[in-house]
Amino acid sequence: MSSKAKTIKASSPQSKAPEDTKIQPIYGAEVVQFHTRLLRVSLALDESRAYWEQQAADLSLQDKQGKRAERAFESRWFGSKSLERVRQLLADFSHRYDAYPASLKVLTGWQPSDPTTRQNICHWHLQLADPMYRAFSGDFLEQRRSRSMPGESQLGAIAVSIDRDIAARWVRQNLQTEWATATILRMATALITCATAAGLCKTTAGTRVLTYPKVTDAALTYWLYFLKDLRFEGTLLSNPYFASVGLGEGFLEPRLRQLSALKFSRMGDLSEFNWQYADIERWAESELGIPVPEIPTKIQPAIQPETKV
């Protein structure tokens, strides 16, 4: 389903579109094809920041894409990581970031210094590029929260836990092919590791307890401007991205009304977004005060075949 659901009507500074007008997404679509890249590259918060920084310095060399891994290794983009690890990071980031040139331009110029903003953005981009992580963090963890038992409460706060065995059962139930038990456990561990790094759970007394991360206004505005021109499952008000960080029904709308780069209103079942800027690049230039660099569009992401497990 497109983000332009019938309950949402969006307007740009130039015009106001009827709610049933079908607008072709200009930023592409979320990934729906299952893959196993999460077994090799996790949330990669520090590596993502380094990638955005190096991307800005690397623009003049984009025509030498074939030698990029060697150049990144020799220039120590990712510190002391091996050449093979650098290749894995670049291959994965080609899906998370390079496949969406408009957002990559913004991140390259912005390079957000706030750690919470970076955490939010990296989490959402991983969800965007990995359907299993999107389903795990945006659907399954929410289901566990909603099914919490009264006996799990401590000092009035409901504590819902997650562990590798629980995650492994979910992985097994959602596989379309048979995996070895060891591989299932690896994937379960990778999912929990990413969720922890994203702030969706924390370790308390040896137990992984589900929680929600803080979400900054800058990160929320960035993702709204990205989603409005992206093809994805759900609507701007109801989707796995916002649900995973606690911005579900009843929590997202108050935040929307606090944002300066858009106006949100609701009348009964009809919701309306009025966008102050035409797209994510214009938002970044005006609100963040950053020049958005031109990244050559002729360079396509280095898509590599998946390794079967």
pLDDT in tens, 244-302: 999 998 899 999 999 999 999 999 889 999 999 999 999 999 999 988 766 655 434 43
Of 117, 112, 100, 102, give the one whose Cα is nearest residue 49: 112
Domain for residue 141, yes or no?
Answer: yes
Domain for residue 28, yes or no?
Answer: no
- Confidence tier at 116 by pLDDT (50, 70, 90): very high
Residues 8, 229 contacting (CB under 8 angstroms): no
Number of domains in the chain: 1
pLDDT value for 63:
45
Measured CA to CA, the distance from residue 42 to residue 158 in angstroms comes to: 28
Measured CA to CA, the distance from residue 209 to residue 141 in angstroms comes to: 11
127 is in which domain, residue-wise?
A: 37-147+159-288
pTM across the whole model:
0.84
CA 11 from chain centre, in angstroms, equals 24
Residue 161 phi, psi dihedral angles, 5° rounding:
-105, 165
Domain for residue 191, yes or no?
Answer: yes
Span 38-61, pLDDT tens digits: 999 999 999 999 999 998 776 544
Measured CA to CA, the distance from residue 246 to residue 224 in angstroms comes to: 15
Domain for residue 43, yes or no?
Answer: yes
